[in-house]
Amino acid sequence: MRKNQSIIGNFDWPLFIGYILLLLMGIGTVYSVAFDPEHPNLFDISEKYGKQIMWLGISLFLGLLVFLIDSDIYRKFSLPIYGFTLSLLIIVLFMPAVNGARAWLGIGSMGIQPAEFAKIGTAILLARYLSTANIKQQSRKTVLIANAIILVPMVLILLQPDAGTFVVFTSFLFVLYREGVSYDPIIIPILNAIPINGIHFKKTWIGTHFIPILFVVIFLSVTTLLLSNSTINIETLGIELAGYWGVFFFLAIISTIGYFFMRMIFSRRDRKRAAIIAIIGFVLSVMLTSVVDLGFQKLAGHQKKRIELVLGLRQDPNGDDYNRNRAMAAVGSGGLLGKGYRNATVSSVQTNHVPESETDFIFCPFAEEWGFAGSLVLVFLYLFMILRIVVIAERQKSSFNRIYAYSVAMILFYHFAINIGMNIEFAPVIGIPLPFFSYGGSSMMSFSMMMFILLKLDSQRKDVLN
């Protein structure tokens, strides 16, 4: 009895209330955007809003079910849970293709998307493995297994293909970085195999910070593609920098900022080291830009076109970029305060100006109805939930609980950021639903289960020490 009282007393009500608010706002938006005057009943199962109510009920039931399970079950059976989700990812590859992808298990419109549930299995097993591994004394085996837990479902998802979920799985890399996973066990043997005047490496900065370096490389690659065909005018100095000169100017500015930043961190005697690092960084960045530009030029025509559309280097508002163009128009038409509930015109299902306005582009009708003010409330609600999960993660005594909580926070952040980015032409259209909001059963069920597992682990945090 005392244990049940402690669970209820430790229940995180702010996170739960945020979850319920998003569910209600999502149901209201789906009802508005897909409303059929001939079937006005919210519970009409023949309409999308009726089905969404059904999925909501199932999600709450599954959430309650996983909350009633003792938290030790998730630790003990992490490998079978992971194996089960992988088996679903394998089975789905032999199913008939729907819209060019083998991503669904089921019949007709009633089915589930195993990739959504694979996130839960991966988060649980990754938390279990990292909580038992000795991170301070990592071996090559430790690093490879931790990355394999993430990469195996990623490969299976890529075979479907499902680019959106594939991208979401990279969120687990930040969890590895948070837990201090270093790639030195893989990098050091390679460096030591190169004869450099008898130098023997024991630890490298690259291995420790490999994941942020990887994303810096991606950032520089995108910057290269953005600037290589543009011109930078510095009117005050009368300088015009075109193509590569613009890229090099940008890299020089970044390197200079990095140098002064490192000077503040290093002691005075290490300022020479800061200058050397800045110069090496500049040289490596220049080499990277050359490789990226060369590789981009060798891509097939349609591949280059897609990348140029995403980066805004090419305009095709009525062709390949139609979805994002119409979505942006819908968001902008909402103005400051919006058109009012059920008054969306650009993004309604009836007009069909925005395809998938009840799923991947559900932010459009919400923004059109409630305007910038309502959109800001929605964004703050998501940010509150993400930050709340981070707070929950940091108060855990168990490393398993902490790692799982950070996995949930990163997955939620990826979905939130990319989905809204798709709607405002800030991210490519890769089919990522807005959590608890978009129409669809798989997403709602998987995120609900994910959230209730977190609430359960947190409610028993004082009873678990490892």
- β-bridge partners, 101: 98
| SS3 category, 112 | strand
What does each of the 466 residues of the chain score in pLDDT, given as a tens digit?
A: 445 556 666 888 999 999 999 999 999 999 988 888 888 888 888 788 889 999 999 999 999 999 998 888 999 999 999 999 999 999 998 888 777 778 888 755 567 889 999 999 999 999 999 988 877 777 888 889 999 999 999 999 988 888 889 889 999 999 998 888 888 888 778 777 776 666 666 777 777 778 887 887 777 777 777 666 665 555 554 555 556 666 777 777 777 777 777 666 665 556 676 777 777 777 777 777 777 777 766 666 655 666 666 666 666 656 566 777 777 788 888 888 888 888 878 877 666 677 777 788 889 889 989 999 999 999 999 999 999 999 999 998 889 999 999 999 999 999 999 999 888 877 777 878 999 999 888 899 999 999 999 999 998 876 655 5
- β-bridge partners, 426: none
Distance of CA 33 to the CA centre of its chain: 26
| SS3 category, 98 | strand
Position 306 scores a pLDDT of 64
C-alpha span between 263 and 149 (Å, rounded): 39
Estimate the share of the chain in helix, then strand, then coil, as percent rounded to the nearest 5. Answer: 65, 5, 30
Query: What does the chain come to in residues?
Result: 466
Position 1 scores a pLDDT of 45
Domain boundaries, the chain: 2-181+389-463, 201-313
**Contact (CB, 8 A) for 122 and 82:** yes
The tokens for 444 are: 């709602």
Q: Residue 352: in which H helix or E strand, if any?
A: none
**Contact (CB, 8 A) for 229 and 313:** yes
Q: Cβ–Cβ contacts within 10 Å for residue 347, how many?
A: 30
Phi and psi dihedrals of 19, rounded to 5? -60, -45
DSSP for 203-264 reads: --HHHHTHHHHHHHHHHHHHHHHHHTT-EEEETTTTEEEETHHHHHHHHHHHHHHHHHHHHH
Eight-state DSSP code of residue 270: G
- β-bridge partners, 233: 240
Peptide bond before residue 161 is cis, with ω within 30 degrees of 0:
yes
Residue type, position 39, single letter: H
What is the value of pTM for the model shown?
Answer: 0.86
Over the range 316-340, which residues count as b (16 or more CB within 10 Å of their CB) and which as e?
eeeebbebbbbbbbbbebbeeebbe
Q: Does residue 106 come out as left (phi exceeding 0), alpha (psi in the -120 to 50 range) or beta?
A: left
Position 301 scores a pLDDT of 64
C-alpha span between 190 and 203 (Å, rounded): 12
